[in-house]
Chain A
Amino acid sequence: MSYHVFVVLHLIKKFQGDRSIYGIYHLLHGKKSSQTIQDSLLFSAKAFFNSLENLSRENWNNLIRTCCSKHLLQEIKKDHVTLTNVGSDTYLMLSKSYTIPTGLELTAWIDIETRFWKKLKMIIQSLSHMIHHERYYYPVSRQDDIQQWTKNFYRHLEVNRYQLSNQLQKEIKTALSICSDLESGILVYQLSGFQVNGMTIEQLAKVTHLSLFETSFLFKSSLRKLLNQIAAKPDKYPILAKIADLDRPVSAVSLTQSARKTLNLINRGLTLDQIASLRHLTQNTIEDHVVEIAFQDPSFPIDSFIDEKSYQHIQQIIGSLTTKRLSVIKEACRQDISYFMIRLVLAKERV
């Protein structure tokens, strides 16, 4: 429980009540939306993106409520909370005994980490069965594209299965050597294969006597370290590099799929109005996309959405305020300034 409290306080402290608890939940849960991705950068909380994939909204809610009832947090408005004095003290105390695993900060590849992990699990499971001459097994991932990918993986290999499994084993051992035994164990014990069933994160939390959050973090920490190793020395890890598929240009701007579509239409010269009606989306959604694009791509021109004067005006207001809360900024701005404009400026300025 107290590790959970530590994490909650840590995050709430970062966000200072500027985002709702559900905004923070989306971040932890790894929701790929413009807002979440921007928030993770704005509040330098990127390490936590996708760090608790299994967290349910309900559990998160309960956790926040518990902290409120213990007077560690206070609600400043609906679904927005900040630390109380007791909360700050508690946080300081907890920080002495708890830490956030270091590997969590290695966020260069978080866009592909989930997919990499699914592919790795499938490769190990299939390989393990192949070297034991067992053709049939229940795949750990039922995702069709992952299964298809696995099939293709074997199609383009020159080495035989025994060489492959030896090599893969060696690579994983080497790559994981920079992790603690605990981290490596949490990663490896989730893998399934011939006559071996993997364990769930929750089961691993039980056997390691750690909290669920810490176990999840340690797993993500080891996974991110692993990916970073592979990216740093792909020649040293040929098989893992092939599984990770880092070569494929993950475009520098990692847009959500929907935003990418909007961008294509903007580039073709359509107005936001037209795009909204063409895509059967609301104007609001399209504006979200524009903000996302502006945030991800500094070279994206925004002069068709906001004039120079308004930009400077908003810039000034933001500079004079300490908060990033939109409603407060809006209040301080000229009447004719819209939320959309403010968010565009925030995105451009990357504050």
Chain B
Amino acid sequence: MLETLLKEKFGYSSFRQGQKEIIDSIIHRRHVFAVLPTGSGKSICYLLPGYVMEGLVIIVTPLLSLMEDQCEQLRAHGEKRVKALNSFLSYQEKDRILGQLRDLKYLFVSPEMLQNKKLLNQLAKIKLALFVVDEAHCISEWGHEFRTDYLKLANIRHTLGTAPCLALTATANDHVKRDIIKQLDMEECDQYIYPIDRKNISIAVKKCETINEKIEEAISIIKMVHLPGILYCGSRAWTEQLTSIIQVRTHYRVAYYHGGMTSEDRILIQRQFIDGELDLIVCTNAFGMGINKSNVRLVMHFHYPKHINAYVQEIGRAGRDGKQSLAVLLYCPIDDEIPKHLIDQSYPDDDVLARIFSRIKYENAKLHSDELLKIMQEEGASETAAHFLQYQLVQFPNMDLDMEKVHNKIKSTIHERKQHKWRELNEMKRWIETKRCRREAYLELYNEQVIEKREPCCDHCGLNWDIFRKGKRETRSLEKMDTWEERLQKLLNNHLKV
């Protein structure tokens, strides 16, 4: 019966690995924690139960772009009872959606939006079928520092009744898994954990001495191997800079993508990439989640990510069609500065913390106020650090009783979090430095083993680059551009009409 529904609603004739078991648990009102590899149709796991269970399915999603993508994909399948709520909507738009809640089947929200009293009041009035946390690793990755509303989800879930909770992610090691389950308060849950190994992705690390050498290496790889490809960078500025270098040095169609662009530009670039009009996209980690493109042949890292979870997520965007694909990480010693800096500025240091505490004491600042955030930033805390600290402080509503104690408590929390981030970073670095099989080395971190080794595995097992080499490429002649009148005709005349 589930199969019929699957066919009818989504056009697939059979379930993929894990989907049916997960859906079955949900329908039987069990909490579920699931790790499904990227590209395995995670969304079916919460979309299908929506058609079986009575009430609204709430999906908590970390990124605005991802939320909108999911929403549009669902609409593209003909499901109209879907909306996305996030804090970027205008007041009127939010209000309109709130008025329609009763008629919706799926509601995508940001964790921040779930703090909205009005929304919670409305939600309390209607029946909830399922509470989904998509990309649930974000709870652990971001929840403790700058998206602290992630840590409040369990509370909210409880106030909304007893609907089952589904936590979904593509990558979670043991630590992250335990953290997610704890933060969502779903200790009693069914767990479905599927292997994350992607056999058709070959892995290589290339060490360089200098940044210039790294740029040369990147360009020569882009020229040599099959595309389309994704090139991940550590900062927005780098995506733009690399894009212009590659544009000058190659004939490939390249564009950059990062969170600082307007939503409309991001949509255009994303569509161009998906429709094959770009050979390479140079991006920050803002690009990727929720993007379905099956024929990505290359994922290259110009800077390494902060932890191995992110790395596994990102390379997982290659070869979703099952064909042989390549993941290359470029490394040079100076790269170590970026993540160090990022970790440091995520937390207030001891001096800053002390100054903030004394100002809170003398100015009697309210804990929830923006004023407090301003004070923190005036004293030298970064925005992330300020949000982190505010969340920590709110945990102690009666702090004026013993400020000293709270100060020390927070100091030690910061210490712990920093230690944790350093451990993750070191894990990533150890992986880059390893002399063993790279696949074995990262799977081990997920308590997974390589079951059958497939050639070509990784640079340490021996990688024959010829496999990825593209044939003599017909040099792309510069496409002649249509005149604007012709272009307009293409848009507004039916060129398929007989």
Contact = CB atoms under 8 A, between A and B. Distances in A.
Interface of A: 53-54, 56, 118, 124, 127-128, 131-132, 135-142, 144-145, 148, 162, 165-166, 168-169, 172-173, 176, 181, 184-185, 187-189, 191-194, 196-203, 206-207
Contact of A138 (B247, B263, B271, B491): B271
Contacts of B488: 169, 172-173, 188, 191
Contacts of A173: 485, 488
A181 B484 contact: yes
B75 A197 contact: no
Interface in B230-273: 247, 255, 260-265, 267-269, 271-272
B275 interface: yes
B263 A142 contact: yes
A140 B494 CA distance: 20
Interface string B358-383: 00000000000000000000000000
Nearest to A166: B492
B89 interface: yes
B484 A169 contact: no
Interface of B: 68, 72, 75-78, 89-90, 92-93, 96-97, 247, 255, 260-265, 267-269, 271-272, 275, 277, 481, 483-485, 487-494, 496
User: B261, B267, B272: which has the most chain A beta carbons within 10 Å?
Assistant: B267
User: A189, A197, A201: which has the most chain B beta carbons within 10 Å?
Assistant: A197
Nearest to B273: A197
B269 A124 contact: no
A99 to B, nearest CB: 21
A237 to B, nearest CB: 15
A189 B484 contact: yes
Contacts of A200: 255, 265, 268-269
Contacts of A127: 492
Contact of A128 (B77, B265, B491): B491
Contact of B90 (A53, A145, A181, A191): A145
B240 to A, nearest CB: 9
A56 B259 CA distance: 12
Given A138-B76, A197-B277, A169 B271 contact: no
B97 A199 contact: no
11 contacts: A53-B262, A124-B492, A131-B492, A131-B493, A141-B267, A145-B92, A172-B488, A188-B488, A193-B490, A193-B491, A197-B271
A145 B93 contact: yes
Given A165-B492, A181-B484, A137 B267 contact: no
Contacts of B261: 54
B401 to A, nearest CB: 29
Given A136-B75, A142-B263, A188 B487 contact: yes
Nearest to A142: B68
A206 B481 CA distance: 13
B290 to A, nearest CB: 12
B289 to A, nearest CB: 16
Contacts of A138: 72, 76, 267, 271
Contact of A144 (B96, B260, B268, B494): B96
